[in-house]
Amino acid sequence: MDPSGPRAILVVKLSALGDVAHALPVVGYLGKAAPGVQVDWVVDRRFAGLLEGNPGLRRVIPLDLGAWKKEWAAGSSRREAANAVRLLREGGYDAAFDIQGNIKSGVVTRLSGAGLRFGFDRSGVRESPNLLFTNRHVRSRPEDVHVTQKILRVVNAPFGGEIPSWWTVPGIVTSEAADNEAARLLGELLPDRNPRLAIHAGTTWNTKKMDPDFWAGVARLLRERFPRVGVFLSWGTEGEREEAEVIRRLAGGATRVLPRLALRQMAALYKVCGYMLGPDTGPLHIAAAAGARTVSIFRGSDGKYAAPRGPGHRFLQAPLPCTACQIKGDKVCDRDAECRKSIPPEAAAGAMVGLMEGVT
């Protein structure tokens, strides 16, 4: 990139919720690596709320790819898609960073018109045809174990030097008004409670889930150590709301189910709570990016690759030899019940007590 003129950069990370949250440090990194750079981000419309209002971004370009594909015969879908392409072309991008690595993100990256199109190399892409749309393929290093390290390695490529410790780079930026509204809501549900703990039990993989008894057990154990603790249960789908109600009944005491929250409301609420407990799911990573301290539970996925890291975070990995099995979706493992019981509530509660008491 020509350092003498105005620079514009496009970040391409479309989905999913947790993956977008993992990529958020890119904005803060680019602001330091290339002061004055204009940064746009193209994202699936469902997750645009994580990015809107971020002072490090010039524009957030939301795409409704799923709806366009489903309703392509409708003129409105074709017009929306054409308008999105126009916005990309008008960006004047010197470089684009495809930090998703599949075919869809590759097409979007190519449509940006950027001359330099950085992406993962063959060992890092999710779908090999992605390599056809990028022209600078960046290889991860052996030390790049965490997904955010791998992402920052791609974005770092034109700037050189070492990538920062990813947990030191700002993630989600919430407004003072949003923080105040979150504090008001928490105070109305459970006044004068400290510490405050958010729990989000819902996740889309069977092999990431824990039973309601587990989450309720952690809440009860924490109440023994911190009698004034307030527990707030968040959810995203109707099924998750029903599960949260079960956890509330089992946990008893000062436990409340939150109302449905938009993404930025959720980020502010987790930030104000200060502590978050959950499996490997989007809300967990939102909480970490917003500044909450977290304890996370990993079974079917790999905590070394995806867990929030740094001084304010702990993760527990199922101790079975087949842990991090990557059995996705609604598939059920033969050892699922054994795996769920391999992480007891006492372990998660102990890790959270350490965070709440400031034990390093």
Q: Are 77 and 96 in contact (CB under 8 A)?
A: no
Average pLDDT of the chain, as a whole number: 93
Confidence of residue 73 (pLDDT cuts 50, 70, 90): low
Q: What band does 165 get if pLDDT is binned at 50, 70 and 90? A: confident
Beta bridge pairs of residue 255 = 231
Mean pLDDT of the 316-320 span: 98
> What average pLDDT does range 90-112 have in this prediction?
96
Q: Output the pLDDT for position 81.
A: 78
Rounded to whole angstroms, how far apart are CA atoms 172 and 188? 25
Residue 40 contacts residue 91 (beta carbons within 8 Å): yes
Q: Say what the alpha-carbon torsion angle 309, 310, 311, 314 is, to the nearest 10 degrees.
A: 10
Instruction: Look at residue 257 in the predicted model and tell me its pLDDT.
Output: 98
Q: What is the DSSP letter of 343?
A: S
Please state the pTM of the whole predicted model: 0.93
Contact at 8 Å (CB) between 119 and 13? no
In this prediction, residue 319 carries a pLDDT of 98
Domains of the chain, start order: 8-168 (3.40.50.2000), 176-356 (3.40.50.2000)
The partner residues of 178 in beta bridges, in order of sequence, read none
What pLDDT band is residue 74 in, cutting at 50, 70 and 90? low
Percent of the chain predicted with pLDDT > 70: 95
Triad 189, 192, 195: Cα angle to 5°: 95
Q: Amino acid identity of 214?
A: F
pLDDT in tens, 19-49: 999 999 999 999 999 999 999 999 999 999 9
Please enumerate in sequence order all residues whose Cβ is within 8 A of that of 352, keeping only pairs 6 or more positions apart, or say none: 197, 218, 222, 275, 277, 295, 314
pLDDT at 226 over 80: yes
Q: At 199, which helix (H) or strand (E)?
A: strand 196-199
Residue tagged 């993989």 (tokens) = 205
How confident is the model at residue 6, as a pLDDT?
45
Q: For residue 21, what pLDDT is reported?
A: 95
Nearest to 167 by CA among 152, 182, 156, 189: 152
pLDDT at res. 166: 79
pLDDT for res 67: 67
Residue 199: closest CA among 259, 276, 292: 276
41 pairs with which residues across the strands?
A: 11, 60
Least confident segment among 41-55, 70-84, 149-163, 235-249: 70-84
Percent of the chain with pLDDT strictly greater than 90: 85
Q: What is the pLDDT of residues 260-308, one digit of tens each?
A: 999 999 999 999 999 999 999 999 999 999 999 999 999 999 999 999 9
Query: What distance in Å separates the CA atoms of residue 344 and residue 348, rounded to the nearest whole number?
Result: 7
Q: Which residues pair with 77 in a beta bridge?
A: none
What's the average model confidence in pLDDT over 219-233?
Answer: 98
Average pLDDT over every residue of 82-89: 85
- Confidence tier at 210 by pLDDT (50, 70, 90): very high
Res 2 pLDDT > 70: no
